[in-house]
Every structure is written in C-alpha cells, then in structure tokens.
Structure 1
C-alpha cells in the first residue's frame, strides 16, 4: 500500500473544504485535499443556485398570473416545462463549472480522488490503496438528504430528493412534498407556481424556521392560503400503485407522480471511521468541536461546514472552512476567530428571514427583551407592489436597547435581513438605528415603524417624527 505524509489533509472539497484548503496553504504547501464524489459544491450542484433558478422561473410565471391586479391583462401565457428545466440545468452546470475550474487549478500533488476513512489517529486510508499520515486533518464532508428508510422501501424509484430534482428534463404533473422546512417550502411553492399540482405534508404544525409563535401562525396562514398544507402527520399513509404514489388523507385518496423527500439534511459522516480516529462524538455521532477554532476536542483534527450539523448555510461553511484550515495550517498556534451574526433567508414568497438570536433562543436563555412589531399589510411601498403580506418582529435588550435579533416573513426579507444582521453584529441600539437614514417610499420604512414600537416599549425618548401624509407610513 502506498504511503504519503502531509502536514494537512482535508477530507471533502465543497465550500468548507475549498476554504480550508486556501487557508491551510497560507502556512504550508504539504496539503492534500481528498474527494470521493464529483467536484462542485452542494450550493452550486444541488442547492442554492439550481433552486433559485427554479424559483426565478416561478416568480416570472407568478408575475404574469398576478398582472391583472395592476390592470394589466395577459393572454396566451404558458409554462414550457422543458424550457424551464433546460435553463435550470444549463445555468446550474455553468455555476458548477466555475467551482470545478478552481479545484482543477490546484497542483496535482494537492488533489486525491477516493473515499477516505480513519484507520488510526492521524492516519487516513483511501480506497484501501493509499495510506495518508497527516499532521492535521480537516473534516469537510458536507451533508446529504435525510430520508426515512421506510419511505424508500414503500416508494422505490418514485421517491426523490432535491439532489435528483434538478436533472428533470421536464416538469411533472404532480409532486407530493414530504416536509415543511426551508427546502420543502422553496421547491413546493416554485413547482406550484409553474403549474405542478403540489401538496406538502408536515410532521408537526410548524412551517419554516420561524420560532416566534405569532409569526409562525401568520406564516402558516399566508403560505397555507396558496399551498395545500397537511400538518401534524409524522407518518403519512402512502402506497405505491404502478408508477404512481397514493396518499390516503381524511378518507380520500390523492395520486402523485413523484414524492419529494425534503425533510432536512444530515452530516455525511458514514464510513469515515471516526471511532478509529479517537475523536469525541456526540449522541448523533458528530465530532464535538469548538466553533471558534474548529478544533475537535484536543486533537489536531478540525471540522467545518455542513459536517458539523450546526448551520448548513454556504456563508457559514465558508467561514468555518477558513477558520478550520487556518488553524490546521498554523497548528499548534491556534487562533480564536469571532463568528458573524447569524443570518438565514428562505426564498419563499413572502420571504422569511432569521437574524441574530431567535425568539425561542432568547426565551430559553432567560434574556429580558422587548419586541417591536410591524405589519406589512398597510405598509406603503408593500401595497404599491401588491406584496403587502407578513410582519417583522425585532428583539431588543431591555437594559441597554441593543438589537439582539429579528424574525420576519414579508417582502424584501433577504435585504432587510442583511441590514438587521449588520446592526446585530455591530451591537447597534434601537436609537442608533433610528438615527440612520430611511428613504421614501421603501419597504425599509416598515423597519422604522418596528423600531419606533421598540423605542416606545423601551421608554426611550422619541426622535423627531417623520410621517408620510401621502401613504400613512
């Protein structure tokens, strides 16, 4: 068996692995990146980018369908499913190409194809043919769809995940979506707006990531008004009949062409032989690590990205990869790196944003906070665009007025979420935020309304009132 010796071995070349490689290489050229699957990140190949391509097509179709509300009559519009999926695949492949070109540019000696597993602390074996002795190891193996094994047994090839959906040649007639989380909401709504008959099945009563009870209820109402939702069904009654799947629900049966399992993703750690690495693992078999250094226990092993089972988001994976790779490269001179304010966005319509500490996290921590609220139902710019649905809740420290977090379902949440995340990270107070400029007429004026509500609850002196007599905001 061939043996190699390196300073840093990185298992996985997704977003986290690529960031770890670049960071480690700042300290040593004896770096080896090992990949068992195709190059190209989860985001580019099966995640963020292809899903947003599908959503963009759905938004175009929906705009045509809603044009009459503006007095614009559209006739003869139709969705060409083959053309939609052709653009999704073509643009997806373009994004993947950018990633693979980056990896292909690495020196040949820095790349190895094959499945790596621990055989001893600091020792990896690749496909039973090569043994890698590494001074430090970075685990960046990413994630994979989490599927109930019973569904596979019952549904066979009629069950698919988002990983397979984007290879469709055409849009199907019907899809049953199992799950009501981020992936399920985005894909189900997009397919629905493109003319696919859709139903969502949820294990619990929750829809999306919102933890604020009032916003969670509002989200169920808004999304449920457009999408057929069946909640509180941990084990839906499904059976296979030929090339169809039959759902039995409330005494009736509904047939679907496909079932999309969108019940979350889990770290891809199976077959990695973590027990042979002597690493401390939690109850789910995930290495226990310091999120500010990436280090696993006291070992010269680091972990980053979706493999941590924490925040499965591209920007978090990139940050974690950079932290883990840098510390692996400079070992044993570890550096503690501050983490950015949490920010997550759901590209449903209306969009959902989670910023900083959530309502549930603040309650669990026993933090004394106030909640500022605004509804977008009558917000000026939102009504102009016919996007006047949803609400924003801001959470501020009762003692010093600092913004702690926010939850939102409403228009332009992807943009408001960034403004709020920046304020949380800077430690802005409600007063400092109100002292910032607000243009008119913009959706951000809704943020100002929520800040004023917080100011009142915190009993802060009010700023000069700027009131729009034209639109009531």
Structure 2
C-alpha cells in the first residue's frame, strides 16, 4: 500500500471529471484523476452518441417509408436488417469511445489512478487495494446509473436499461418501455420506426420534459399515432416465462374519464427508463463529516458546488441537477477551479437552460418551464406547425410551440414545443434568453424565407399581440 499527496483528487473520469482535472491543473494545482471503471464517458458509451446512432437509423427507415406522397415510389418493401443496424451503432459508438479513451490516456500516468475510491476520512481516499490518496480538496464526479425498481429485477436479463440496448446483436420483436421521459420516448420511437412492436407506459401523464398542458397534450397524441403510448398507466404485475415477459397494467386511472381498463401483454424485453440514481454508494461517505441528503449525496451549494464548508465539490450527473453533457462539463470546470483555489471559491455562472428530446418531431424546452412561471406574469405566443410553410413543403408539419414573454420587461423568458428542427430552434432561443433579449429585439432579427424558423416568428408576434391585449 502506497500513499500519495495531491492538491486535488477527482473521483470519476467522465464528462465532469475530465474538465475538473484540466481546470485544476490550469489553476496551478497538482491533481490526480481516479477511475474505477473503463475510460470513456457515459455519453460516448451508452448515452448521447449510441442513442443518436440508433435514432439516425430509425430516421433513415422512416424517410424511406414516406416517399410516396412526394410522387417518389420505392419499388418493393423496405427491409430493416437489425444486425446491420446494431453493428453500425456499436462500431461508430466504439469509435467515439476510442477518442475519449485516447484523450484520457494522454494524461500523464502519474496523474491517473485505476480503482474504485472510498473515503477513509475527510481528506484521505483509499483507491482499490493499492493506493491511499491524501488530498487537500476532492471533486466527486462519479456520475449516475439507471434505476430499476424492485418489481422488475426478478425478470433477470429480460429487464434492461438503456445501457443494455447498445449491447444487442439484433433488434427484438416486441418491447415494453416503462417511463415516458426523454430516454423512454427517444428509444421507444426509434425502435418502433425500426420495426419493433413498442408499447410505452408512463405513470403520471408525463410526456418527456414538457409541463405546458397544451403542448404536452399535443405531443402525447403525436407519439400515440406511432406506437402504443399510455402516458398515465399503473403497472400492476410483471412475470417471466422463458424468454418472454408478461406485463399487466391499468390505464385510465385518475383520468376522470371513468373508463379504466386492465391490459395484459407479452414482450421480449422490458426497457426500464425510471430515472437515474447518483453513484455514491461505494464512496463510504459515512466515514466523513459531510452532511448527506436522503439519497446519500452530500448536501452542497448549487452555485459553488461546495459541500458545506468542506473542500469537497460535487459535479456532473452525481448531483442530479442537470444531467446533460454541457452542464456536466461546465460544473466540472467550476469544481476543478474551486477545488484548486480553495478557500477562494466563486459561484458557477450557468448558461441558459436548454433541453432537447431527439424525437421526430423534436421536443425542446428553453428557459423557464410553463409550470415554474408565476401565473399572470407572462403572455403566451403560439404557433402550429401544421400549416407552417416550410414544414408543409417537407411533410413534417406536426407541432405546437408556446413562447413565454414577461409582461413587465417584455423579455423572452422561456418556451416549450414539439415541432420540426426543434434542436436548432432551441439554440436560437437559448442565445436570445442568455442575451436577455426582449420580444421586440428578437423580431428585429432576420428570418429567411421559406424556413421553419418563420414559425418561431409567428409565435413571437403572437406574444406581442398578447402584450397589447394585456395593456403592456
């Protein structure tokens, strides 16, 4: 057993840990990066990149099946080869992972430790069975893992999480997706468009991240037109027989319609997308004087990422705030800098909130959610993409957008929508929000013709009309 000294110890070499290490070094501190699993981030291995590869295959299949309305006829049937689909997904995924691994291994060997870390006391870490690290500051960037409720664990390998999808050699015949959040909708729609019989069941009427009732209702109908989508269902029982899973669930409960129905169906797999949990159970945080919340995560300041008055900083998915790559990277840089300069700690300046579901049509949110805005403090501008010019030209005319504008300041404060090119429009709105633009300044910006963004202009004009009505 050897003991090493360092200014900053970073636990986790992922999307937050790597920037934390680089920031600490840039601040002039010594730093050690500790990783227990294989190098390569969650995003590259089982998150952003492989899921978008699967979605890209699904988009290709969907586009090929919709040429006839344009007068373009493809003779014969479209054949989807599941093995070829998954081979490309895994091959390109491995390429992306390789870039991350190469970058990580370029870090000096003396600054890298392989092994799972646990706290011996506030400033002393045990790494594997070979090294102890005495650190002046610690950054916890251990990420998160999919959560599987107890009732599904008895299904063995027939209950899977999104990580497992990207290990498939071939596409299955029939899948139930439990959870109607971002991951559930993205993978559910992609698998459906690749010929898999998909049922998505949610528990609380959720449709991705949406909180605006009208937009959420519209989006729910869009997804229900492609696969079986029950946004408000109660799974009553699951059982396994051989390589099949039988699920019984109740729909209509609490909807007020009075038409409850119990459905029983059989699937090859149950894909559980019931949220994620912080990876803290192996850190032995009970050996420290850190104050822990009910989930065992250190209580920390969301601005400085500091745990109480301790030289410990919590960054990335492990803190559960915004589990997005760019947010994890920003937090990692802030945590690494603060750890290196402790006790000189400065708050993290967050960027404009932006969230995207890579579905088709896309779902996006920017700024404040509808549910979080103070009632009567804002007006809503609306556009339907059903008659929007460019959207109709492309036969991608499904969507509804709501933009929110403050009545007093006339500033754009947020938006929720489903529609074509949502991921690109989201960036325009995030930039406008971060620049604190008014709706008037946004309408002074150029809008080319004919483009989908003209729909955004319609919504902004609607907000201006709403301000006139409200007397602002």
Corresponding residue for residue 314 of structure 2:
303
Corresponding residue for residue 342 of structure 2:
331
Corresponding residue for residue 178 of structure 2:
178
Corresponding residue for residue 417 of structure 1:
426
1:438 has 2:439 as partner: no
Distance 1:234 1:26 in 2: 51
Distance 1:290 1:382 in 2: 44
Report if the CA contact (8 A) 1:12-1:141 is conserved.
Answer: yes
Please list the CA deviations of residues 401-434 of structure 1 after superposition, one character each: whole Å capped at 9, or x if unmatched: 0011111111110001000000111100000000
Corresponding residue for residue 257 of structure 2:
none
- Structure 1 position 231, deviation (Å): 3.3
- Structure 1 position 205, deviation (Å): 1.4
Report if the CA contact (8 A) 1:372-1:452 is conserved.
Answer: yes
Corresponding residue for residue 123 of structure 1:
124
- Structure 1 position 291, deviation (Å): 2.7
1:157 has 2:157 as partner: yes
* Matched position secondary structure for 2:233: coil
Report if the CA contact (8 A) 2:178-2:202 is conserved.
Answer: yes
Distance 1:282 1:59 in 2: 42
Corresponding residue for residue 398 of structure 2:
389
Corresponding residue for residue 93 of structure 1:
94
* Matched position secondary structure for 1:133: strand
Distance 1:387 1:301 in 2: 49
1:42 has 2:53 as partner: no
1:283 has 2:294 as partner: yes
- Structure 1 position 121, deviation (Å): 0.9
Kindly tell me: are residues 252 and 297 of structure 1, through their superposed partners in 2, closer, same or farther at Cα, counting changes over 3 Å? Answer: closer
- Structure 1 position 252, deviation (Å): 5.1
- Structure 1 position 460, deviation (Å): 9.3
Distance 1:122 1:257 in 2: 48
1:257 has 2:268 as partner: yes
Please list the CA deviations of residues 148-199 of structure 1 after superposition, one character each: whole Å capped at 9, or x if unmatched: 022112x111111111110111111111111111001000100100001111
* Matched position secondary structure for 2:9: strand
Report if the CA contact (8 A) 1:26-1:329 is conserved.
Answer: no
Distance 2:167 2:243 in 1: 19
Corresponding residue for residue 68 of structure 1:
68
Corresponding residue for residue 406 of structure 1:
415
Distance 2:384 2:293 in 1: 41
**Which shows bigger deviation, 225-234 or 191-200?**
225-234
The answer for unaligned runs of 5 or more in structure 1 is 462-473
**Which shows bigger deviation, 269-278 or 6-15?**
269-278
Corresponding residue for residue 136 of structure 1:
137
**Which shows bigger deviation, 426-435 or 113-122?**
113-122
Corresponding residue for residue 147 of structure 2:
146
**Which shows bigger deviation, 442-451 or 65-74?**
65-74
Corresponding residue for residue 471 of structure 1:
none
1:269 has 2:270 as partner: no
How many corresponding residue pairs?
A: 459
1:352 has 2:353 as partner: no
CA RMSD of aligned residues (A): 1.6
1:101-116 paired onto structure 2 within 5 Å: 101-116=102-117
* Matched position secondary structure for 1:335: coil
Corresponding residue for residue 202 of structure 1:
202
Distance 1:251 1:131 in 2: 56
Please list the CA deviations of residues 211-254 of structure 1 after superposition, one character each: whole Å capped at 9, or x if unmatched: 00111111111111111012333434221111101123545532
Report if the CA contact (8 A) 1:136-1:301 is conserved.
Answer: yes
- Structure 1 position 29, deviation (Å): 5.1
Corresponding residue for residue 465 of structure 1:
none
Distance 2:304 2:215 in 1: 35
**Which shows bigger deviation, 14-23 or 324-333?**
324-333
Distance 1:252 1:148 in 2: 20
1:169 has 2:173 as partner: no
* Matched position secondary structure for 2:66: helix
Distance 2:324 2:277 in 1: 13
TM-score normalised to the size of structure 2? 0.94
Distance 2:69 2:291 in 1: 58
* Matched position secondary structure for 2:89: helix
- Structure 1 position 367, deviation (Å): 7.1
Distance 2:232 2:403 in 1: 29
Corresponding residue for residue 254 of structure 2:
none
Distance 1:88 1:117 in 2: 35
Kindly tell me: are residues 200 and 236 of structure 1, through their superposed partners in 2, closer, same or farther at Cα, counting changes over 3 Å? Answer: farther
Corresponding residue for residue 303 of structure 2:
292
TM-score normalised to the size of structure 1? 0.94
